[in-house]
Structure 1
């Protein structure tokens, strides 16, 4: 009998998680399959009940459910509670437990590039579910100053209150400067837009984007001349590695997961005419 896993969100049609996890399952000879399940906000409670009823082993949680999913789980891990967002649910004999592996993906993405967050001045664009994990990771990395800018200032304020960081109105973006800039908004997804100009990016040494379609976003293209860049697949890969460990209790074939992710993004770029 095959164990079932999957990702829930809206939209999920171009999620890369199925190709990543299924490749790892096959490589390790596991009887498991990972699918993509589109779940509208109004159906979230029913979907969670379905996970339990169908004995689905676990699911990844993506936009827009990372924060609202809390209400429907039996237990939430301490770190996920602090972050205020869940990206992984494990079904332990009918008990649904929420975790967050996004923050570990962020830390590993910096670590593999030899970038220390300690004592750094970090500017984060966006205040959604993903940015909460980014802020948590940056704080865990002992950054000296963390600034949050969001188009809706109230969301930046809320994030600042929750994590003890500094909120700034979006209008102050033109004055932003520091060591590291992290782009967590959806700007640039399937487009050639950037939330910031090259003039601003000149003031930073490291630029990270969590958008990965296209892989070389306009944000990263503009940053490349002045910054060491980190593409969005790095965080996705390493949060997926940690998810796989939670799903199976095993260490996954990381290099294979990396290979299939980049191949799939290249294929999707061609399909969506997002060539760089």
Structure 2
């Protein structure tokens, strides 16, 4: 029951109706027995400054941030966590009595899902397919986890070179066209293959990045951060070629769980969140 003491949480974006965050967060709130409520709020880009001030004035305890506000919100906050600063994007805001701090929990969600699946990135080599929205969080997460090198395969290497130059301060990165011979050699030596492109996402489920499985290391772990469908074409082909696989469900739940902990100080029931996510995806 909502009362005068109920604490408010939200996710802001434009559009926002598709967001599954309310499903995840309200499941965790109910399971933990907390007096919180989480809602989705549509915020147009031009209204972002006013929205941030409004959420602060209304004493929202915190909120998630999704497209297109993840970078635009940063100058509107009082402090930025190191992960969010390096990645250049905020997906979680915590309001401590009017002091707004921005975090990026995608890093935590990505790495913790990988570790839980039995793959330890330390001293391994990784290949990324694509360098879109979540790629910066993936790159930073892998660097923090101790990979020896990250090789990125894309359609337009020149567009991605600035990202490579930026993160080369922290680790070894290269970029290649994903259909060139030099990329095939990188793929053959990689312990981990991660898809950060939207290729294969519903409804275009027959799509996938160009991967020649004869060039993929026999025991390479294949991680597709897409979660609709649960098994993309990339993951299906990887499984049929004998590779261990992981989809993006655990990353989505993990980043939400990390945000939940920052707002409430409580560790949420991860399994409960996963069940509710799968129920929502099924409908």
The TM-score normalised by the length of structure 2 is 0.87
Matching of residue 252 in structure 1 with residue 268 in structure 2: yes
SS in 1 for 2:176: strand
Cα distance in 2 for residues equivalent to 1:60 and 1:162? 26
Cα deviation per residue 1:185-209 (whole Å; 9 max; x = unaligned)? 2222222143324524860411111
Cα deviation per residue 1:74-130 (whole Å; 9 max; x = unaligned)? 110122212222111111111211011111111111111111112222111232341
Higher mean C-alpha deviation, range 211-220 or range 105-114: 211-220
Aligned residue among 188, 198, 201 for 1:186 = 198
SS in 2 for 1:97: strand
Structure 1 partner of 2:108: 104
Aligned residue among 129, 140, 150 for 1:125 = 129
Matching of residue 195 in structure 1 with residue 199 in structure 2: no
Cα distance in 2 for residues equivalent to 1:33 and 1:69? 22
Q: CA deviation at 1:154?
A: 4.3
**Contact 1:117–1:138 (8 Å) recurs in 2:** yes
Q: CA RMSD in A?
A: 2.0
Matching of residue 228 in structure 1 with residue 225 in structure 2: no
Q: CA deviation at 1:156?
A: 1.5
**Contact 1:201–1:222 (8 Å) recurs in 2:** no
SS in 2 for 1:224: helix
The 5 A counterparts of 1:50-69 are: 50-69=54-73
Cα distance in 2 for residues equivalent to 1:51 and 1:201? 52
Structure 2 partner of 1:31: 35
**Contact 2:199–2:209 (8 Å) recurs in 1:** no
Higher mean C-alpha deviation, range 96-105 or range 175-184: 175-184
Residues 91, 222 of structure 1: alpha-carbon distance in 2 compared, 3 angstrom cutoff: same
Higher mean C-alpha deviation, range 10-19 or range 69-78: 10-19
Equivalent residue pairs, number = 267
**Contact 1:85–1:129 (8 Å) recurs in 2:** no
Structure 2 partner of 1:263: 279
Larger Rg: 2
Higher mean C-alpha deviation, range 11-20 or range 21-30: 11-20
- Structure 1: segments with no counterpart, 5+ residues: 268-276
Q: CA deviation at 1:158?
A: 1.9
Segments of 4+ moved more than 6 angstroms:
none
- Structure 2: segments with no counterpart, 5+ residues: none
Aligned residue among 197, 201, 216 for 2:231 = 216
Cα distance in 1 for residues equivalent to 2:44 and 2:178? 29
